Amino acid sequence: MDSAPSPTHGAHSATAAEPAPPPLPVKLVIAGGFGVGKTTAVGAISEIRPLTTEAAITEVAAGVDDLTHTPGKTTTTVAMDFGVITIDPTLKLYLFGTPGQDRFGFMWDDVVEGALGGLVIVDTRRLDDCYAAVDYFEHKDIPFAVAVNAFDGEVQHELDEVRWALDVSEHIPLTVFDARETGSVRDALLVVLDVALARAKAAEPA
């Protein structure tokens, strides 16, 4: 009985394909005033159950925080929100939402540290609450975009009016989005990525 032919000397055996590298981790911050939709946005897009630090709004807090436009809001973020979304096989976003009240502003530096960029959410019904977040990112010189949350499917002012009211520079993108919709939040975050990557490219040596 003939034996099976032996492999040809020097032939290369098939090798398994190398595993793809893990996606690049990128930290982004979602910021804005009280009740603008930060926690909602993180929850709408995160592929994991979001980590939230929500606390009940007490009678004392209700006297400090303006609930006029958010009468159904019963909790508030007291530290941060956290979520994760894989944009594609090469990129994973780690999302950190800031607390919105001024009295928790001391935590912002810790939350923002190491972030590539930020998304500042705006409620056009109360633009005064949004100045602090815009000023913060401008002062820190962190790339950011402004996203107007379309509460009830509409906004109260045109984007040009919002830009003028917030005194936002022309090079900072403004967009309208719905914090409840996954695709809408994703598009807004991609705007931030574009701004951050453009800044990084401009900083590269010629």
Is 42 a residue whose pLDDT tops 70?
yes
> What are the DSSP calls for 118-141, one per residue?
EEEEE-TT-GGGGHHHHHHHHHHT
Give me the phi and psi of 56, to 5 degrees please.
-65, 140
Q: How far, CA to CA in Å, does 65 sit from each of 21, 62, 68, 69, 146?
A: 46, 5, 9, 11, 22
CATH code of the domain covering residue 131: 3.40.50.300
The answer to whether residue 12 is domain-embedded is no
Most distant pair of Cα atoms in the chain: their distance = 95
Is 36 a residue whose pLDDT tops 80?
yes
pLDDT (0 to 100) of residue 44: 96
What pLDDT, in 10s, does the model give residues 123-172?
988 888 888 889 999 999 999 999 999 987 778 888 999 999 999 999 99
Most confident of 86-90, 100-104, 151-155: 86-90
Whats the size of the chain, residue-wise?
206
The answer to whether residue 57 is domain-embedded is no
User: Could you give the number of structural domains in the chain?
Assistant: 1
* Non-local CB neighbours of 37 within 8 Å, separated by 6+ positions: 121, 123, 149, 151, 179, 180
The answer to whether residue 3 is domain-embedded is no
Is 79 a residue whose pLDDT tops 50?
yes
Task: Give residue 131's domain range.
Answer: 24-52+76-203
119 token code pair: 């998304």
Res. 72 pLDDT band, cuts 50 70 90: very low
CA distance 61 to 115: 30
- Yes or no: say if 115 and 27 are a contact pair by the CB < 8 Å rule: yes
The residue-averaged pLDDT of 53-72 equals: 47
The residue-averaged pLDDT of 38-53 equals: 90
pLDDT (0 to 100) of residue 160: 94
97 token code pair: 């939402």
The answer to whether residue 11 is domain-embedded is no
The answer to whether residue 69 is domain-embedded is no
pLDDT (0 to 100) of residue 70: 46
The answer to whether residue 134 is domain-embedded is yes
CA distance 117 to 120: 10
The answer to whether residue 137 is domain-embedded is yes
pLDDT (0 to 100) of residue 8: 53
